[in-house]
A and B are shown apart, each in its own frame.
Chain A
Amino acid sequence: GENVEQHPSTLSVQEGDSAVIKCTYSDSASNYFPWYKQELGKRPQLIIDIRSNVGEKKDQRIAVTLNKTAKHFSLHITETQPEDSAVYFCAPAGGGYNKLIFGAGTRLAVHP
């Protein structure tokens, strides 16, 4: 099955700094690369996604970049704010597997 790894598992930054979270996957047929944000006590929600025919996508302060050759994609958050504090999950999909596998999550803490 698909192997998904996220790094780092925890990340602590000062408000205004940038944060980068990386997700590596094993299925070269994957073609959908989303990032989900889960705030404390809430459900995961999609914040940005990218398909395999695109190398980068940006939405205000967040961006996702994809390197299909190396089989990894990354979440970039610029000018971090305290409300960015949450757990972030990647879930590469669209390949030969019908299971939807999530990474183990990255806990981001943004300190004022």
Chain B
Amino acid sequence: EAQVTQNPRYLITVTGKKLTVTCSQNMNHEYMSWYRQDPGLGLRQIYYSMNVEVTDKGDVPEGYKVSRKEKRNFPLILESPSPNQTSLYFCASSLGAGVMNTEAFFGQGTRLTVV
């Protein structure tokens, strides 16, 4: 079954404790991205990756890191989480971007609370 898998689904952590949210897709998609969703603000892109070893900032990258060592995986890293990073996070993948843009497939979401 074609899918995007995120883990964990729920996470409560303390300020400053490094954490990683994993994202994996089995559709051989080139483009992967991370979003945060906050009430009234829609889906805001944090980082995206056009392909292996190619990553770039989205609209709200501060406080986040990503890596793309393999095509299928795109983890989101919070080196020193702060309470303003409390949010619902989605990973998404699609065949391509720009002129290759197609449907985006989303993971189940990760609800992160930083206390």
Query: Does B74 touch A at the CB level, under 8 Å?
Result: no
Distance A46 CA – B106 CA, assembled complex (angstroms): 10
Chain B's nearest CB lies how many Å from the CB of A45? Answer: 7
A43 touches B43 (CB 8 A): no
The residue on A at minimum CB distance from B103 is: A46
A46 touches B104 (CB 8 A): yes
B103 touches A104 (CB 8 A): no
Most buried by A among B33, B45, B106, B107: B106
CB contact under 8 A between A49 and B98, given known A43-B108, A99-B48, A103-B42: no
User: CB-defined interface of A86-103 with B at 8 Å, one 1/0 digit per residue?
Assistant: 000101011111111111
Query: Does B99 touch A at the CB level, under 8 Å?
Result: yes
A101 touches B45 (CB 8 A): yes
Chain B interface residue count, Cβ-Cβ cutoff 8 angstroms: 29
CB contact under 8 A between A96 and B43, given known A43-B106, A44-B90: no
Chain B's nearest CB lies how many Å from the CB of A87? Answer: 9
- CB-CB under 8 A from A1, the residues of chain B are 59
Partner of A91, one of B31, B44, B98, B104: B104
A99 touches B90 (CB 8 A): no
A100 touches B48 (CB 8 A): yes
Query: Does B56 touch A at the CB level, under 8 Å?
Result: yes
Chain A's nearest CB lies how many Å from the CB of B93? Answer: 11
Distance A104 CA – B45 CA, assembled complex (angstroms): 12
Cross-chain pairs A/B with CB under 8 angstroms, 22 sampled? A32-B102, A43-B108, A44-B43, A44-B90, A45-B106, A46-B103, A46-B104, A98-B97, A99-B45, A99-B48, A100-B94, A100-B97, A100-B101, A100-B104, A102-B35, A102-B42, A102-B45, A103-B42, A104-B40, A104-B41, A104-B42, A105-B43
Contacts from A to B (Cβ < 8 Å): 1, 31-32, 34, 36, 43-46, 49, 89, 91, 93-105
Contacts from B to A (Cβ < 8 Å): 31, 33, 35, 40-45, 48, 50, 56, 58-59, 90, 92, 94, 97-104, 106-109
